[in-house]
Amino acid sequence: MKKILFVFILLVFALSMAAAQINEFSLGEWNDNIYTNDFLGIKFQLPEDWKRFSDEDLAQVMNLGTELLNDDQKKLAELSKINSVSYMGANNPATGDSIMVSSVKSIFDLTAEYFMNGVKTQLQALESIDYEVSEISKEELAGREYYVLTAKSEISGINLIQKFYVYKIDKYFLEIVATTLRGEDAITEMMNAFE
């Protein structure tokens, strides 16, 4: 089941990328159980019993999800490998809850709302997963207002929830994806780890 969650996480990131190459900048750093990225302006306190992803784990997660895509979507996923940066991922091995943080650089002057509409359209177009996708709303997270949408799916009797948070920093879109099988309260718990 945990591998399925990793696949879903990758799938989402592969579909939410824009066309541009990211310049060199800080990938952030872990100091004990706190991830800090000054470029993105985020800090994440790793919850108890959680494990952070190694660089190898992040690469594996990104490659696994392409197996679920159709041929056209696989081309987009390959393109996304040069257009985005995955900074941090972490999960709770006991529950399968996970958090992923990435960014995408846009060559166009797009808004975060426009970017999020693209994520929504891509989720709705997936053939391999039947997502019920919410309307886009706004939520405050760690002192910032993010565009947010929730995608839900039932797979083999298991209810998957993924919540997407997008915030624009100059030409970059910071994207945080929280995934759980335990309901929306679990998402709230995860997001409380951001400062």
pLDDT one digit per residue (tens) for the chain, 195 residues: 555 544 444 445 454 443 333 334 678 899 999 999 988 999 999 999 999 998 777 777 666 454 544 555 555 555 445 577 788 999 999 999 999 999 888 878 899 999 999 999 988 988 888 899 999 999 999 999 999 999 999 988 889 999 999 999 988 899 999 999 999 999 999 999 999
Specify the pLDDT at position 55. 77
Residue of 144, 145, 148 lying closest to 134 (CA atoms): 148
Angular region, 116: left φ>0, alpha ψ -120 to 50, beta rest: alpha
Specify the pLDDT at position 53. 92
Residue of 28, 74, 82, 79 lying closest to 55 (CA atoms): 28
pTM as predicted: 0.79
Give the integer Cα–Cα distance in Å for 15 and 33: 29
Number of domains in the chain: 1
Specify the pLDDT at position 39. 86
Q: Which residues contact 58 (CB under 8 A, 6 or more apart)?
A: 86, 89
DSSP string covering 68-102, please?
GS-HHHHHHHHHHTTTEEEEEEEE-TTT--EEEEE
SS3 133: strand
Neighbours of 144 (CB within 10 A): 14
Specify the pLDDT at position 100. 94
Specify the pLDDT at position 82. 55
Specify the pLDDT at position 141. 95
How would you list the strands of the sheet with 29-31, edge to edge? 29-31, 34-37, 42-45
What residues make up the domain containing 10?
Answer: 2-22+29-191
Specify the pLDDT at position 61. 65
Give the integer Cα–Cα distance in Å for 177 and 192: 13
Residues 129/155, Cβ–Cβ less than 8 Å: yes
Q: Domain containing 76 — which CATH number?
A: 3.40.1000.10
Specify the pLDDT at position 168. 94
